[in-house]
Chain A
Amino acid sequence: MSNMQDTLTRVLARHAGRALPIRSTSSLSADPSSAIGIATIKIVTEEQIQAIAFGSLGRAPNLIARLDPIGRDVTDLLPFARFLIEAIEHALEHEGELRIWVPHGETMAALDVLGHRYWRNQNASPEIVRMGEICRILAHEAIFAGQQVIADSAQLLRDHAITGQTPIEDGHPDAMLAWFDRAVTDPVTEARQRSRFPASGILVNTPDRRDDDRIEKLRKEAKGGLTAGRLSAVQGEIRRVLSAGVQREWDLMVAARAAFWGLGLPTTGLDTLIDLSRKRLSAALMQGHFPARRADRVAIELDELDSAQRVTEQSMLEADGAARLRAKRAGAVIAGHVLARNQPKRGRHPCSIDVETDQTVVRTRRDDKVVVVGTNVSGVVRDIAVAPSGGIRVRIEIMNGVRSTATLDAGTRIEIMEQAGAYVRTREFSQAAARGVWMFFGDTPPALAPGTWRRGSPLAIARRSRRP
């Protein structure tokens, strides 16, 4: 969407008093029945989770309020660990099917830090260690474009709709939700009021409600010798404040999820992304999480990220007409009609088609691999020329789908885009690592014996070798 379109849509949303969808399809597939939710409250900068809400969607969550999150005793996290392990076991039994809703990206960051702390912790129980590993795996999956496991409810709303407030205000999930709530008659004012309290996985700490400072003080008090009665009261208050805080985060997530599905966007065209996501997740859960440290592992990770990005873009272009329209203007999609089909034997190779478009911007180049949108037809661009009509003519050698009649017949209107390469060079990079290539795996360059071949000025040798 261009900046001007974004702005005008924002104006319209302000005028209409509601959020407006900006995509025609959903980037998230339908929730499986096993979808769960996680919300957290952390201690600011400490990045320690002090409260967790978790459970199946549609039911009240389980709440854990941690009395001493910085302490070594983590038995209070066991219910969450077991829940997570159970969810993962279900996923493994169902080919990686897993959906976890979170209120916002800060939740994933908090879970990742939790993961960092416990996944190799030799003092923690096996369940806690496994919980840590799962958290790291989930946080890693969340960075892949098109992944279908983690549903960041706030980000989903931002990606699929525009509100009538500033983009920075959309960073506050509760403020954003004011624009999705039909019961709110003045979302401008309502959103600004809601933004008074944070919605980023931390406790409120306004002058009239210093929950965070209060908890800090209560914890300190709890550490000094108190009577049993006083200790119980202090702990009770800590639990109350934390539970209320994390319940609020959970409620925000539930509301955001409802708002997202309330947009009614079709969930089509996501099979490839679902498949990739599940495979990645299953592999990580079975083999373990190993952060990339060596050059080959970093290279593999970059390829995986790049591949996910390409496949996601292609999926989106195929599924979303609005996105395709924008890509057409930028020349990344060519919309035209088949001018001629050159196929000596029907249904067989060789086969090529000439496609003519009136687009003035075309980004395709000779030898690019392309697909015809919405079909199984793919090929290679062999020629691009200016057509007599003033448009552009593209010749495509068909590699797959030579039997397609409807698509390849003259007169058919088609859309063409570059074929996304999804290949990850795991084998190539791993083999390079096995060979111990010095440039990437050595500490010092090897010393070579100086060459003993005939020397002379290389430029002079080249000049002498020049053909007359």
Chain B
Amino acid sequence: MNDRARTSQDADQVMDEAIDRALHGDTPLVIVNSPPGAGKTYLVECAAIAAAVGAGMRVICLTPGVVQAYDIAERLLAYNLPRLELVHAKHRETPARLSGRLTVSNGWGGALNNGPGVIVANAHVIAAYRNQLPSGSFDLLIVDEAYQLAANNFLPVADLAPRALMVGDPGQLPPVTSVDTSNFEAHAHPVHWALPTYLLKRFPRTPVYSLPSTRRLLPDTARVVQKAFYPDLSFASVVDPASRRLRFDVSGIHARLDPALDALASGASIVAVVLPGASPAHEETDPELAAVMAGLVERILVRQGTWVGTRRLGQGDIGCIDPNVLTGGAVSDRLRRAGLRDVRVDTVERWQGLEVPIAIVRHPLSRVGDPEPFDLQAGRWCVSLSRHQIGCIIVGRGSVDDVLREYVHPCDTAAAGGRDDVWSGFQAHCSIWAELQLRGRIFRMGNDS
């Protein structure tokens, strides 16, 4: 048995143990930490099925947002369940792909949750109907993407079941809050924290399982991402690089952009394209950089990029990730003008939970001025670099080197008693950039670009 198979088996074993403990153990709470692409939603599916089918339980799967609830519901349709129900808010319309395929309720209805089966919903909507749901209405409560759910949003629903299984990725963006939470950072109840983080602070002996592998990230991406963002979670890739090969049926002739694409085709899963100089200070966006990002998309399609053994890549197989709405808008604009309307361009927040064969990522430090905490946040960079199944092309300015070299950490970005995520992010930036440099994965465009 090779390493990949062994690690896969280990992952299955961890999943089995975690689910078994959650369903049948003597602890009311089990947490599973999952690196990107480890199959956590698969774990959620299996847990729900094993509970409903294998143990005759009434299960509720909760998610931070409604989109994730729709995704889980769709995946559960692939199974024979005694009952599968989706609950969403009154004003929502059922997505076409789910319509007519399962019971959907706008708001909580009395006819729901009869006997073994699964209900899928986002936390907010169930909280709104708690007066109709006494404690223990369910036998098992599963939380998917638990690190994206703030503890306060879970509080109203925490006792819906005596057993809870929480699954999530600790390296990604923490729950978003618009208010200043400094005063709560040293509080006994920092309920603005991600749910598992809050619970582990309160109950450090909670059993925590860690999935040891990623099924999305190729080995060389996994190494970079694990080292930079998951110091406490060791994992390896179980992806066979042979199954994720990129081939271009048209040779590269574009001296500026094609070398990076050729590097992807030869097996490098993260590369960078660097434009000279700095972002123009007088512009809100960087039109040149936006043009390069759009240009890379065009080149992939023009060169007939193909996922070997799977399909010719289309617009839907390429995604652009931009931390900033305005600069992302400039990329969208370019793509639209080139007739490429189906390439998804979005912020990091909206890319969470998604994957795409090729990701083109704007380097967040390609900006004028000193980096802000937003630019350096570790989770944001982690999400950006862990969406791709085949290849990721970081596009940035040469000033990134200067920023990394000259950065003076202000030491005031975390509240008293808080963890310094900005420093973690800076270190991740440094280590990843150094790795790319060492491996010759940075392709610098000349001044005539």
Contacts and interface: CB of A to CB of B under 8 A. Distances in A.
Given A453-B56, A455-B20, A467-B78, A329 B326 contact: yes
Given A437-B158, A445-B27, A459 B12 contact: yes
Given A306-B178, A309-B179, A459 B15 contact: yes
A306 B177 contact: yes
Interface string A139-182: 00001010000000000000000000000000000000000000
Contact of A382 (B20, B66, B93, B128): B93
A465 B284 CA distance: 53
Contact of A295 (B19, B180, B189, B284): B189
Given A360-B332, A360-B336, A459-B16, A429 B23 contact: no
Contacts of A432: 130, 155-156, 158-159
A451 B158 contact: no
Given A360-B329, A438-B28, A4 B282 contact: yes
A305 interface: yes
Contacts of B192: 302
Given A439-B199, A453-B55, A462-B45, A303 B26 contact: no
Contacts of B79: 462, 465-467
Contacts of A390: 336
B54 A456 contact: yes
Interface in A366-384: 366-367, 369, 380, 382
A294 B191 CA distance: 10
Interface string A345-374: 000000000000000110100110100000
B130 A431 contact: yes
Interface string A424-439: 0100110110010111
Contact of A458 (B23, B127, B159, B368): B23
Interface string B60-97: 00000010000000000011110000000101110000
A141 to B, nearest CB: 15
B53 interface: yes
B6 interface: no
A58 to B, nearest CB: 34
A238 to B, nearest CB: 35
B161 to A, nearest CB: 11
A298 B152 contact: yes
A293 B190 CA distance: 10
A207 to B, nearest CB: 30
A458 B51 CA distance: 8
Given A429-B156, A439-B158, A465-B53, A399 B284 contact: no
B29 A439 contact: yes
Given A305-B179, A360-B336, A458-B46, A294 B189 contact: yes
Contacts of A455: 20, 24, 54
A437 B179 CA distance: 26
B371 to A, nearest CB: 13
A44 interface: no
Interface-centre pick from A298, A428, A466 (highest chain B CB count, 10 A): A298
B333 A360 contact: yes
Contacts of A440: 151, 155, 158, 189, 191
A386 interface: yes
Contacts of B191: 295, 298-299, 302, 440
Contacts of B29: 439, 445
B163 interface: yes
Contacts, number: 185
Q: Which of under 10, 10 to 19, 20 to 34, or 35 or more describes the interface residues of A? A: 35 or more
B336 A439 contact: no
A315 to B, nearest CB: 15
Given A465-B80, A467-B79, A445 B91 contact: no
A459 B55 contact: no
A310 interface: yes
B326 A361 contact: yes
A324 to B, nearest CB: 16
B313 interface: no
Category for how many chain B residues contact A: 35 or more
Interface in A2-17: 2-4
Nearest to A458: B50
A294 to B, nearest CB: 7
Contacts of A459: 12, 15-16, 19, 46, 50
B341 interface: yes
B346 to A, nearest CB: 10
B394 to A, nearest CB: 22
Interface in A185-206: none
A461 B49 contact: yes
A449 B26 CA distance: 5
A309 B178 CA distance: 7
A295 B155 contact: yes
B180 to A, nearest CB: 8
A448 interface: yes
B178 A453 contact: no
A331 interface: yes
A369 B124 CA distance: 15
Nearest to B47: A458
B374 interface: no
Interface string B1-25: 0000000000010011001100111
A66 B5 CA distance: 78
B281 interface: yes
Nearest to B135: A435
B425 interface: no
B28 A445 contact: yes
A446 interface: yes
A466 B55 contact: no
Contact of B188 (A145, A293, A367, A447): A293
Closest 5 CB pairs of A and B: A458-B50, A361-B329, A451-B24, A462-B46, A299-B152
Given A367-B93, A462-B49, A466-B80, 7 more contacts: A437-B155, A437-B158, A453-B24, A453-B56, A458-B16, A458-B47, A462-B50
Interface of B: 12, 15-16, 19-20, 23-29, 45-47, 49-50, 53-57, 66, 78-81, 89, 91-93, 127-128, 130-131, 135, 151-152, 154-156, 158-159, 162-164, 177-181, 184, 187-192, 199, 202-203, 206, 281-282, 284, 325-326, 328-329, 332-333, 336, 341, 368-369
30 contacts: A3-B368, A295-B189, A298-B184, A299-B152, A302-B152, A302-B177, A302-B179, A303-B152, A306-B177, A310-B178, A329-B326, A331-B325, A360-B336, A361-B326, A380-B91, A390-B336, A428-B128, A431-B156, A435-B135, A438-B159, A439-B154, A447-B27, A455-B20, A458-B19, A459-B16, A461-B50, A465-B49, A465-B81, A466-B78, A467-B78
